[in-house]
Amino acid sequence: MKLFDDNEFPAEPYPGARPVFSFVHHDGVGHSLDTAPEGWRERQAVLAYGSNACPSKITWLRESLGLPEPVVVVRAECTGLAAVWASGLRIRDGQRPATLAAMAEVTEPHAVWFVTPEQLAVLDVCEGRGTRYDLARVHTGTVTLDDDTVLDEVLAYVGASEIRLPLLVGGRPVRTAEVPQRTAFSLDGVPAASHGLDVTLLPTTRPLP
């Protein structure tokens, strides 16, 4: 069943608009989860806490980086984790991207991609794996899907360089849920020394551009 078109969820300003429900995305259209490819639950679960939950961004990944196949995006509730503003701006448009940080007693709605190896390879390129972000198994907090399934140590892209570590303003990270992009890009602060997460970094097994 068709649920929406991309134009209902624009990508600008970052991180873009996103549905408040699970969906399968293909050809610029969101469909209900019951149209997901067989065996999707056995795929790798990757937390999408920034723009990757935006349907228009998914189409951009297809057009710019060759993202293949339908994308399965499942709504999730994250506890002990927060999307916060990173210390550096994006070169291509000057917007401030999100990064992940440990934040006790915080619960936020995000999304989880269930990815094929080919889709994960595209995300690696988009996120600058090994330079801007690392791909890691996150041990901090809990990620619970809409059907109450608790994911065991979900993967996520976490800050690898100073520009993708959390920005501290007054000594504290700034949650994306509390401050919009139009304010975030002009925040004045300092990079955090760490994202504060307990993680296991995944080794890079292929050359990255």
Q: What is the pLDDT of residue 205?
A: 62
What's the CA gap between 99 and 49, in Å, rounded?
Answer: 8
Q: What angle do CA 118, 131, 73 make, to 5 degrees?
A: 40
Q: What is the pLDDT of residue 177?
A: 97
Q: What is the pLDDT of residue 207?
A: 43
In the numeric block, which tokens belong to residue 125? 């390129």
Each of the 209 residues of the chain gets a pLDDT tens digit; together they read 899 999 999 999 999 999 999 999 999 999 999 999 999 999 999 999 999 999 999 999 999 999 999 999 999 999 999 999 999 999 989 999 999 999 999 999 999 999 999 999 999 999 999 999 999 999 999 999 999 999 988 999 999 999 999 999 999 999 999 999 999 999 999 999 999 999 999 987 654 43
Name the one residue in this structure whose structure tokens are 């995300």. 123
Cβ–Cβ under 8 Å, residues 122 and 40: no
Full-model pTM: 0.95
If one looks up domain 2-201 in CATH, what number appears? 3.10.490.10
Cβ–Cβ under 8 Å, residues 111 and 76: yes
Q: What is the pLDDT of residue 133?
A: 97
Q: What is the pLDDT of residue 209?
A: 38
